[in-house]
Amino acid sequence: MKVSLGRPKKVNNFLTTLNTTLIANRNLKMMEARAGEAIKKISTASSNKAAIDAYAKKME
């Protein structure tokens, strides 16, 4: 799963608008990778819980 912040240039344009420090492309790629891992863990846990809940409801 790949999660994108919307191209480094767009992110840095947004940061420029806010008058904040720009982020290097390499650092943005690392942030995207970490975000992708976190989203994958959360979605897996959510799917597992939904499956367990559906099974329990069906067995009632």
- Give the tens place of pLDDT for each residue, 22-55: 777 788 778 878 888 888 899 999 999 999 999 9
- Give the tens place of pLDDT for each residue, 1-12: 444 556 666 777
Domain count, the chain: 1
- Structural domain harbouring 52: 8-59
Band the pLDDT of 21: cuts 50, 70, 90.
confident
Residue 50 is assigned to a structural domain of this protein: yes
What's the CA gap between 31 and 37, in Å, rounded? 10
What's the CA gap between 39 and 4, in Å, rounded? 12
Q: Is 15's pLDDT higher than 90?
A: no
Residue 1 is assigned to a structural domain of this protein: no
